[in-house]
Amino acid sequence: MPKCTFCKRSYEWPRGISIVQKEGTVKFYCSSKCRKNDEMGRNSKKVKWVIKQEKEQKTA
């Protein structure tokens, strides 16, 4: 199962988006929300919904 490049959440393979860049690196995204935030240059450590998601994963 790949992990999202932006929010670090793991997801099942048929879902999500995989983008191959010119240098050959592959970026995996679980949703278009993560892809758009990464393209805008946002830092995942400062986005509130990613921080909340990480806290929920630690408690579960």
Give me the CATH number covering residue 21. 2.30.170
Q: Can you give the pLDDT at residue 26?
A: 94
Q: What is the pLDDT along the chain (60 residues), one digit of tens a residue?
A: 899 999 999 888 888 999 999 999 999 999 999 999 999 999 999 999 999 988 888 887
Question: Is residue 8 a part of any domain in this protein?
Answer: no
Q: Can you give the pLDDT at residue 35?
A: 95
* First vs last C-alpha separation in the chain: 19
Show the domain range for 24.
17-59
Question: Is residue 39 a part of any domain in this protein?
Answer: yes
Q: Can you give the pLDDT at residue 55?
A: 87
Question: Is residue 35 a part of any domain in this protein?
Answer: yes
Question: Is residue 38 a part of any domain in this protein?
Answer: yes
Count structural domains, the chain: 1
Question: Is residue 32 a part of any domain in this protein?
Answer: yes
Q: Can you give the pLDDT at residue 1?
A: 87
Q: Can you give the pLDDT at residue 13?
A: 82
Question: Is residue 11 a part of any domain in this protein?
Answer: no
- Alpha carbon of 13 to those of 2, 26, 31, 32, 51: distances in Å? 7, 14, 12, 15, 24
pTM over 0.95: no
